[in-house]
């Protein structure tokens, strides 16, 4: 899904916006370097690797020789990105030529990583009588439940079975931009909110995390600490226990919030407590570089516009309700229909046809996912047609000119309007013409000159 | 069989199969010193260049996979597969390093046992390139069939020992099947001579052929040239082949020949005129 990349890139912009001292501090951790490196465009990755063991700076000119002429724009993008993230430093040498030097901090932690490997600040706890590990399935189910619970609370706090520990003010922050809350009114999902729901989990997660980080300063948490902790967390081994006493106070608070999101599971033993990272946490850094997540789809769309969604999730039925009419809710199956009316409400809420189609395609059930097209063509065409239905009338502000003194003046005016590309309609008999509004001034000057 | 573009990841996710030449005859030749490449770059140092390169491939993308295949004189074998070993997270690198070393030692030992019979003492015994190429291609075919979406594969040959003309047919067959399944073969020659096989392999499959001018910078060459993914290669200035040695080996004596006789029916190549083709009769 394209949104993941956009959201993730925004996150990287946030990293790039950190002051250089903080950024340099981040680069002391090889895991952050790794996560950042993976988020770079392919060419930038290659340049970084190439420069990794070069101590002396390289001139911009010789670097340009690395690429073919048609790759030059990509080259610029890559270099810009590297400079923004301060992985490359731009200097000028004695001959006033631009030279690039790889950030020494980044270089040394990366070199160390390649040669000796990285070590996490904490070791996983040994399996023993106290630590009983969950199976991967259990852990995934837990993460999913936690996340859906959070989302339900976000969009509709009445529906949620169990509230998360987030303070109402925190939830407000997350809802900002997703819900419109006017005074004395039930909050309604905004256009962005709908689009948010149609995104895949990783993109949603990044959106929330981003909001969480941007407001961290208000809570007295340093944003670079938070970023480094989050990125570090994504490199912890899945489904292994880590002792909570390896964290400092700020991190413990953060980890409690993350447990609410389903990123980690907290468990308590007799003496110690520990956290277990879930798949959501380990996907955090992965989704920065690759957007293709392998989620099990659940939706089957038939040519008769019926939707069968094999899911018991309340969230899924809420999402489907956004653009279809839900007919039956069975224990493991949601049956609905895409109708003109249901789509019109969706369009009014600002969801586009493309979003709906891509949602249906992304979440297609494994049985239909192999088929081409995944969603029947007549359904996708009809969804698009219904969308264009709403845009049948196009409004163009314009001016009507009439009462021309002679046929010649009228024809000259027509000719002029045609030349400037603003003629919309003319009637030679009644000597009337309509021209685009923004050209009125030009038309007036022209007609004045004719007189 | 062939890979549809829709089956690929959006980003440069690659599967790199590295064929490592462990020919003991080549690597031992350096012990006597002199101008031999193995004298400046003994095998242990060679590995120290290669392993950071493997690590950096894994570093580039979470989904990248690296497979290491050893090419011996009598056999070939898988040494390391980043996909199968649960190498995630903590101190991955030392673990990988020790795993590779252990498997290599085991492999070399086995390779020696397989090659019983009269020991050839000649200074240049060719490695079994055809065997390891076939292993790599089989592995790649398995990945192709493994799931709906797979990484983009490529093969990198780190060749040290000279070509074995008697493997001509097998190597060419491997090259053509790589071409058919669109797998580029990159070759990096650390040995003394150019390799005609690998020149042809890279030329036919669209890979990069490079004979290292300087051996101590091996890691830098690997990182700069062979680490780039297939998509970014289209924008990059890569080393171009200066010339390709297209010479074939004759089927009768397995000698590399400039000019020969070709059977008009089955296209077998011979160095001398024969009344009847020994291949098709």
A301 DSSP β-pair partners: A307
Chain A positions touching B88 (Cβ under 8 A) are 237-238
Chain B positions touching A42 (Cβ under 8 A) are 11-12, 228-229, 231-232
Q: Please give the residue of chain B at the shortest CA–CA distance from A78.
A: B232
Which pLDDT value is given to residue B11? 58
Range of weakest confidence among A44-58, A94-108, A176-190: A176-190
Q: Please determine, for residue A161, whether its predicted confidence score (pLDDT) is greater than 70.
A: no
Taking the CB of residue A353, how many other CB atoms lie within 10 A of it?
A: 21
Instruction: Give the pLDDT mean for B110-114.
Output: 81
B90 pLDDT band (50/70/90 cuts)? very low
- Hey, is the C-beta of A66 within 8 angstroms of any chain B C-beta? yes
Q: Please determine, for residue A2, whether its predicted confidence score (pLDDT) is greater than 60.
A: no
Cβ(B156)–Cβ(B186) under 8 Å?
Answer: yes
Which pLDDT value is given to residue B134? 93
Instruction: Give the pLDDT mean for A283-302.
Output: 66
Mean of pLDDT over chain A: 79
Whether residues B224 and A286 touch (CB distance < 8 A) is answered with no
CA distance A276 to A269: 13
Whether residues B235 and A70 touch (CB distance < 8 A) is answered with yes
Q: Calculate ∠ Cα B207-B10-A146, nearest 5°.
A: 140
- Hey, is the C-beta of B149 within 8 angstroms of any chain A C-beta? yes
B157 pLDDT band (50/70/90 cuts)? very high
Q: Is the dihedral of CA B266, B270, B276, B277 positive or negative?
A: negative
- The separation between CA B23 and the C-alpha centre of its own chain, rounded to angstroms, equals 13
Q: Please determine, for residue B119, whether its predicted confidence score (pLDDT) is greater than 60.
A: no
Q: Helix axis angle, A30-39 relative to A42-51, nearest 10°?
A: 140
Q: Please determine, for residue B188, whether its predicted confidence score (pLDDT) is greater than 50.
A: yes
Instruction: Give the pLDDT mean for B218-234.
Output: 85
ipTM of the complex: 0.80
Residue spans of the domains in chain B: they are 7-240, 247-281
Q: Please determine, for residue A96, whether its predicted confidence score (pLDDT) is greater than 90.
A: no
- Hey, is the C-beta of B193 within 8 angstroms of any chain A C-beta? no
Range of weakest confidence among A68-77, A132-141, B144-153: A132-141
Out of 1.20.120, 1.10.10, 2.70.220, 1.10.3470, select the CATH number for domain A2-116.
1.10.10
Comparison of pLDDT for B261 and B244, the residue scoring more: B261
CA distance B182 to B154: 9
Q: Please determine, for residue A156, whether its predicted confidence score (pLDDT) is greater than 50.
A: yes
**B12-44 confidence digits (pLDDT tens):** 678 899 999 888 888 887 766 666 777 778 888
CA distance A249 to A221: 11
Cβ(B38)–Cβ(B30) under 8 Å?
Answer: yes
Query: Residue B10: which of A114, A117, A292 has the nearest Cβ?
Result: A292
Instruction: Give the pLDDT mean for B216-230.
Output: 85
Range of weakest confidence among A117-126, B59-68, B184-193: A117-126
Letter string b/e over residues A169-206, b meaning 16 or more CB atoms within 10 A of that residue's CB: ebbebbbeebbeeeeeeeeebbeebbbbbbbbbbbbbb
**B47-61 confidence digits (pLDDT tens):** 888 888 888 888 887
Whether residues B236 and A54 touch (CB distance < 8 A) is answered with no
Q: Please determine, for residue A118, whether its predicted confidence score (pLDDT) is greater than 90.
A: no
Fold for the domain defined by A398-450: Alpha-Beta Plaits (3.30.70)
Cβ(A193)–Cβ(A156) under 8 Å?
Answer: no
Whether residues A49 and B62 touch (CB distance < 8 A) is answered with no
Which pLDDT value is given to residue A286? 64
Which pLDDT value is given to residue A350? 76
Instruction: Give the pLDDT mean for B128-148.
Output: 88
Chain B positions touching A113 (Cβ under 8 A) are 55, 59, 93
Whether residues B52 and A294 touch (CB distance < 8 A) is answered with no
Across the A/B interface, how many CB contacts are shorter than 8 Å? Answer: 109
Which pLDDT value is given to residue B120? 54
Taking the CB of residue A106, how many other CB atoms lie within 10 A of it?
A: 28
Comparison of pLDDT for A106 and A162, the residue scoring more: A106
B76 DSSP β-pair partners: B71
Mean of pLDDT over chain B: 81
Report which of B230, B224, B272, B226 is spatially closest to residue B251, judged by C-alpha positions: B272
- Residue A342: asked if its preceding bond is cis (omega within 30°), the reply is no
Q: Please determine, for residue B264, whether its predicted confidence score (pLDDT) is greater than 80.
A: yes
Q: Structure tokens of B269?
A: 């190549």
Which residue shows structure tokens 């003496």?
Answer: A271
Helices (H), chain B: 24-28, 37-40, 43-60, 92-114, 129-146, 168-180, 196-205, 218-221, 230-233
Instruction: Give the pLDDT mean for A22-39.
Output: 81
Q: Please determine, for residue A293, whether its predicted confidence score (pLDDT) is greater than 70.
A: no
- Hey, is the C-beta of B215 within 8 angstroms of any chain A C-beta? no
Which pLDDT value is given to residue B91? 47
**A304-342 confidence digits (pLDDT tens):** 999 999 988 777 888 888 889 999 889 889 999 999 999
Which pLDDT value is given to residue A292? 46
Instruction: Give the pLDDT mean for B112-139.
Output: 77
- Hey, is the C-beta of A176 within 8 angstroms of any chain B C-beta? no
Q: Please determine, for residue B265, whether its predicted confidence score (pLDDT) is greater than 80.
A: yes
Q: Considering only residues 379 to 438 of chain A, which have any Cβ-Cβ distance to chain B shorter than 8 Å? A: none
**A351-398 confidence digits (pLDDT tens):** 888 888 888 887 888 888 777 788 899 999 999 999 888 887 888 889
Homologous superfamily in CATH for domain B7-240: von Willebrand factor, type A domain (3.40.50.410)
Chain A positions touching B90 (Cβ under 8 A) are 119-120, 123-124, 237
Instruction: Give the pLDDT mean for A228-236.
Output: 79
B180 pLDDT band (50/70/90 cuts)? very high
Comparison of pLDDT for B225 and B123, the residue scoring more: B225
Q: Please determine, for residue B176, whether its predicted confidence score (pLDDT) is greater than 90.
A: yes
Residue spans of the domains in chain A: they are 2-116, 136-289, 299-389, 398-450
Q: Please determine, for residue A297, whether its predicted confidence score (pLDDT) is greater than 50.
A: yes
State what percent of residues in chain B have pLDDT above 70.
86
Distance from CA of B80 to the nearest CA of A (A): 17
Q: Please determine, for residue A151, whether its predicted confidence score (pLDDT) is greater than 70.
A: yes
- Hey, is the C-beta of B182 within 8 angstroms of any chain A C-beta? no
Chain B positions touching A117 (Cβ under 8 A) are 55, 91-96
């Amino acid at each position: 899904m394209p949104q993941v990349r956009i959201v993730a890139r925004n996150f990287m912009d946030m990293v790039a916006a950190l002051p250089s001292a903080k950024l340099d501090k981040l680069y002391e951790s090889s895991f952050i370097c790794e996560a950042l490196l993976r988020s770079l465009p392919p060419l930038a990755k290659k340049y970084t690797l190439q420069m990794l063991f070069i101590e002396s700076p390289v001139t911009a000119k010789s670097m340009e020789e690395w690429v073919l002429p048609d790759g030059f724009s990509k080259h610029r993008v890559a270099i810009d990105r590297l400079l923004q993230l301060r992985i490359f430093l731009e200097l000028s040498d004695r001959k006033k030529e631009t030279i690039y030097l790889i950030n020494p901090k980044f270089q040394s932690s990366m070199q160390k990583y390649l040669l000796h490997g990285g070590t996490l600040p904490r070791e996983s706890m040994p399996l023993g009588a106290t630590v009983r590990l969950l199976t991967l399935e259990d852990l995934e189910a837990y993460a999913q439940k936690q996340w859906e619970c959070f989302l339900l609370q976000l969009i509709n706090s009445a529906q949620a079975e169990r509230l998360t520990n987030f303070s109402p003010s925190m939830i407000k922050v997350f809802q900002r931009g997703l819900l419109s809350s006017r005074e004395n009114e039930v909050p309604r999902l905004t256009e962005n909110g709908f689009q948010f729901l149609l995104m895949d989990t990783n993109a949603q997660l990044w959106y929330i995390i981003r909001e969480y980080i941007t407001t961290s300063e208000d809570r007295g948490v340093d944003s670079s600490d938070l970023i480094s902790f989050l990125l570090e967390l994504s490199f912890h081994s899945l489904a292994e226990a880590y002792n909570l006493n390896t964290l400092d106070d700020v991190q413990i608070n953060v980890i409690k919030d993350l447990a609410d999101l389903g990123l980690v599971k907290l468990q308590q033993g007799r003496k110690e407590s520990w956290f277990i990272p879930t798949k959501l946490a380990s996907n955090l850094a992965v989704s920065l570089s690759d957007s293709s997540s392998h989620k099990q789809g659940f939706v089957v769309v038939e040519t008769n516009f019926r939707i069968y969604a094999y899911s018991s999730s309340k969230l899924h039925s809420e999402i489907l309700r956004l653009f279809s009419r839900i007919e039956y809710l069975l224990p493991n199956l949601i049956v609905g229909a895409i109708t003109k009316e249901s789509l019109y409400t969706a369009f009014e809420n600002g969801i586009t046809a493309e979003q709906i189609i891509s949602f249906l395609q992304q979440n297609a059930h494994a049985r239909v996912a192999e088929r081409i097209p995944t969603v029947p063509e007549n359904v996708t065409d009809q969804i698009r047609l219904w969308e264009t239905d709403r845009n049948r009338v196009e409004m163009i502000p314009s001016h009507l000119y009439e009462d021309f003194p002679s046929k010649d003046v009228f024809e000259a005016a027509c000719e002029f309007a045609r030349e400037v590309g603003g003629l919309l309609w003319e009637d030679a008999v009644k000597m009337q013409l309509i021209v685009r509004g923004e050209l009125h001034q030009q038309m007036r000057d022209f007609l004045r000159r004719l007189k | 069989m062939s890979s549809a573009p829709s089956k690929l990841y959006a980003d440069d996710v690659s599967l790199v199969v590295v064929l490592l030449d462990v020919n003991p005859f080549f690597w031992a030749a350096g012990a006597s010193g002199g101008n031999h490449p193995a004298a400046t770059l003994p095998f242990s140092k060679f590995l120290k260049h290669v392993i950071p390169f493997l690590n950096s491939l894994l570093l580039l993308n979470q989904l990248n996979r690296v497979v290491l295949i050893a090419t011996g004189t009598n056999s070939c074998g898988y040494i390391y597969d980043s996909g199968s070993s649960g190498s995630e997270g903590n101190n991955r690198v030392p673990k990988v390093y020790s795993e590779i070393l252990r498997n290599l030692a085991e492999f070399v030992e086995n390779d020696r046992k397989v090659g019983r019979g009269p020991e050839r003492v000649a200074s240049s015994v060719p490695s079994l390139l055809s065997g390891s190429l076939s292993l790599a291609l089989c592995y790649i075919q398995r990945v192709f069939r493994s799931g709906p979406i797979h990484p983009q594969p490529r093969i990198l040959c780190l060749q040290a020992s000279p070509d074995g003309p008697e493997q001509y047919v097998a190597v060419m067959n491997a090259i053509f099947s790589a071409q058919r399944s669109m797998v580029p073969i990159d070759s990096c020659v650390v040995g003394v001579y150019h390799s005609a096989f690998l020149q042809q392999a890279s030329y036919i499959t669209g890979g990069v052929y490079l004979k290292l001018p300087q051996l101590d910078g091996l890691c830098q060459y690997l990182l700069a040239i062979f680490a780039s993914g297939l998509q970014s290669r289209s924008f990059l200035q890569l080393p171009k082949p200066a010339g390709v040695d297209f010479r074939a080996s004759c089927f009768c004596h397995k000698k590399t020949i400039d000019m020969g006789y070709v059977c008009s029916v089955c296209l077998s190549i011979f160095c001398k005129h024969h009344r009847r083709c020994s291949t098709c009769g």
